[in-house]
A = this chain, B = another copy of it.
Amino acid sequence: MKSTFEYMESSLRRTLVHLNIYKQKKLRTFLVLLFSFWGLTGFAQTWIWYPGDYEIWLSNQMQNRRTERGTFFPVFWKIDNHYPLIDFHKVFDLSTPEEVDIYVDGQYNVKLDGKAFEGSPKKITVPAGKHKINIKVFNQKQVPTIFVKGNKVVSDSSWLVTYEDKEWIDETGKTSDVSTTKWMNAGSWNFNNSDQLPANFMLPTKPMEAASINKTNDGTIVDFGKETFGYIKLHNLKGKGKLAIYYGESREEAIDTAHTETYDKISVDQQSGDYTVELSKAFRFVKIIADPAVTFDKVSMLYEYADLQDKGSFKCNDEEINRIYDVAKYTFHLSTKEFFIDGIKRDRWIWSGDAYQSYLMNYYLTNDNGTVKRTTLALRGKDPVTSHINTIMDYTLYWFLGVYDYYLYSGDADFVRSNYDRMKSMMSYVLGRRNKDGLLEGLPGDWVFIDWAEGLSKQGAVSFEQLLFARSLETMALVADLVEEKEDVGMYTKLAADVKKKLFEIYWNEQKQAIVHSYVNGKPTDNVTRYANMFAIFFDYLNDKQKNNIKNSVLLNNDVPPITTPYMRFYEMEAMCALGEQEYVTKEMKSYWGGMLKLGATSFWEEYNPKKSGAEHYAMYGRKYGKSLCHAWGASPLYLLGKYYLGVKPTGAGYSTYTIEPALGGLKWMEGKVPTPAGNIELYCSTTNLKIKAPTGTGTLMLKSKKAPVCKEGNFVNKGNDLYELTIEKNKDYDIKYQAL
């Protein structure tokens, strides 16, 4: 058994070696310093739990807050539950005895070196020396959690937890000597005080005033000036009778009370006092209709939000692009709650495909690891796997991709490692659903989604799914390597190569210079769609010739059915950016996202079809106001502008290495920040001047310039074809003169 220190050291070492940052000797010095520092200042404590359990529990709470016309509207997929009985333990080596406070959500016992304290103590004394503390908690109603606060003896994610001891005693009372108990590092968030019981968590709120309140013949119409989310508050509500609040993301929806998607109906019977509705809702407008005997003075709201700080930014000479960026930011924040959700009116659920895009946007704006991890755990749920995530085949695969990207952007090997078992059983479900050709084809019960697009074929083995499948297998190989499961690395690498090989053998149509849509009854179809082709580009599965041909034969080919959802526009724009077509993308952004703004959008929509007009825009799913007017997947400019205009992306885990390829895409200048785990990479770029400062890792600037760029801080290497490269070292201010092409 290794000591905690040794364990942490070797664990950290593996991570860092992978990231190529530190030499081993430096690491030990660093760790010794770090530990000494902790020793002097005391340790931070936090509420802890079995990893994933609180996340699943909280997501159940959140996802079951949806209503539709007053009726509870839960998810239709399986939701899981927490383990009711958990053992927490840690071994401490103390130089002096400690008084330790213990807070537990549940029925519990506490053991010191295997011997139980009487009852359920709220305070224990831990003697000096090496001691093991176990806390065992039973809670069926909510997740078993603990908070331990001494000086060194504090609860944090270094505690080990299990839902299954696998320990027993023989008839003499002797404990079994072989233990195969699987211990995990505890899960935590930021509940750092004893009174912050995780089960009581609620998002913060702040009061917001209405932009206008107008009385009409039959009620009151309130406009909050823009799409928003929270709790309507009626001031000085009094009288006796009924009152109804009809919510609208549009004015049309709020006043069309027979068709508004959400409402609240309450019975009032009070002399006075403010009233706040129980359930948060999405709206810009509300219409309030009350019995004559019911009155109120004013209407305001409590805005509910996840308190994530913006780290990334983008600004340029084009005010329309700046507006698009700002509205995308607002859309992203509205759609980020306890987890990344799809939309705030509908569904308020975690959809893996939607969340995957939120992850990517997050890396360029808020860069909050917590929300990514929580969302990843909530989506995965628990074993046994009985269906695809959200029942959708592609959404299972995006889940793997999300892990891949999370590792790349955060460098958080610990989380990725701790997730490996869940990845493995999920992948085992996927592998069990291959057809005889080894390809993924929708079996009964599998929803092959791809995109909301009329007439899109889901028959046979769709090429798009195989692309995601290949990348998912590559993710498995990557993580298998991190957990040092050599056999698994080999297996998944081989499987990934095999799927990629088939992808080109089966789906590549030489004549059309495109990946065809599907393979049905042993034959590739003639059907060309954009999906697989654009993913193949930014997955870098194609050679340059193929990429360029696809650009013309598919992406710029009007005969190939266009994409109408911001969801797939995300990837279409990404593919064009990856091909260096930022100018095209700037135009598209201005026309598509700008188009929504011109229609008065204050957040980006679930779907936008420029051919529609007026209230037609609000309809979807056969319902007049079925469309969600604030949908996370609409916020993709955040990602595109950060990754493909500022041009910053990690190439080594956690930005140990990264590249910068600025592309103005027709803009005169731009400036912005891209968050990394160590701080922001800052960048200013005009057609002649480029300024860069990076706080971390080793960057490679790849700059297109008509002439050799110059700066004092380093030497460019001419790579030919007007491309120049410069190594960016950390914490240096680069000021580069060049000439944009």
Contacts and interface: CB of A to CB of B under 8 A. Distances in A.
A79 B84 contact: yes
Interface in A28-78: 57, 60-61, 64, 68-78
A384 B387 contact: no
A620 interface: yes
Given A76-B167, A620-B171, A119 B387 contact: no
A387 B164 contact: yes
A178 interface: yes
A196 interface: no
A225 B72 CA distance: 56
B168 A447 contact: yes
A169 interface: yes
Q: Return the 5 tightest CB-CB contacts between A and B, nearest first.
A: A180-B445, A173-B622, A81-B81, A173-B621, A78-B164
B64 A118 contact: no
Contact of A77 (B120, B165, B454, B626): B165
A276 interface: no
A622 B76 contact: no
Nearest to A180: B445
A192 interface: no
Nearest to A626: B173
B79 A83 contact: yes
A22 interface: no
B172 A621 contact: yes
Interface stretch (A11-19, A136-144, A549-557): A136-144
A504 interface: no
A214 interface: no
A383 to B, nearest CB: 5
A196 B727 CA distance: 73
A174 B383 CA distance: 30
A352 to B, nearest CB: 14
Complex copy number for this chain: 2
Interface of A: 57, 60-61, 64, 68-85, 107-109, 116-120, 136, 138, 140-142, 163-174, 176, 178-181, 265, 383-384, 386-387, 391-392, 425, 444-445, 447, 452-454, 620-623, 626
A138 B85 contact: no
Contacts of A79: 83-85, 163
15 contacts: A69-B118, A71-B117, A74-B85, A74-B109, A74-B138, A76-B165, A78-B163, A81-B82, A140-B142, A166-B387, A170-B452, A171-B453, A173-B622, A173-B626, A383-B384
B622 A172 contact: yes
Given A82-B81, A140-B60, A384-B384, A72 B109 contact: yes
Given A79-B85, A172-B621, A119 B166 contact: no
A444 B117 contact: no
Contacts of A109: 71-74
B173 A68 contact: no
B178 A444 contact: yes
Contact of A116 (B71, B83, B173, B623): B71
Nearest to A87: B76
A338 to B, nearest CB: 15
Given A64-B85, A84-B79, A180-B444, A119 B71 contact: yes
Given A142-B140, A168-B447, A623 B72 contact: no
B391 A621 contact: no
Given A171-B454, A178-B445, A179-B445, 9 more contacts: A60-B84, A61-B140, A69-B118, A71-B116, A72-B120, A73-B109, A141-B142, A172-B621, A172-B622
A179 B75 CA distance: 16
Contacts of A81: 81-84, 140
A623 to B, nearest CB: 7
Nearest to A447: B168
A89 to B, nearest CB: 13
Contacts of A71: 109, 116-120
A81 B163 CA distance: 12
A171 B627 CA distance: 10
B138 A72 contact: yes
B60 A391 contact: no
Contacts of A76: 164-168
Contacts of A85: 60, 64, 74-75, 78-79
Given A140-B142, A623-B173, A70 B166 contact: no
Nearest to A61: B140
A732 to B, nearest CB: 51
A103 to B, nearest CB: 16
Contacts of A181: 445
A533 B43 CA distance: 60
Contacts of A171: 452-454, 620-621
A612 to B, nearest CB: 14
A84 B53 CA distance: 13
Contacts of A70: 118-119
A347 to B, nearest CB: 11
Nearest to A451: B171
A676 B61 CA distance: 47
Nearest to A163: B78
A381 to B, nearest CB: 11
Contacts of A73: 109, 116
Contacts of A84: 60, 79-81
Contact of A141 (B72, B117, B141): B141
A386 B164 contact: yes
Contacts of A74: 85, 107, 109, 136, 138
Contacts of A384: 383-384, 425
Nearest to A174: B622
Given A173-B626, A391-B168, A623-B173, A83 B72 contact: no
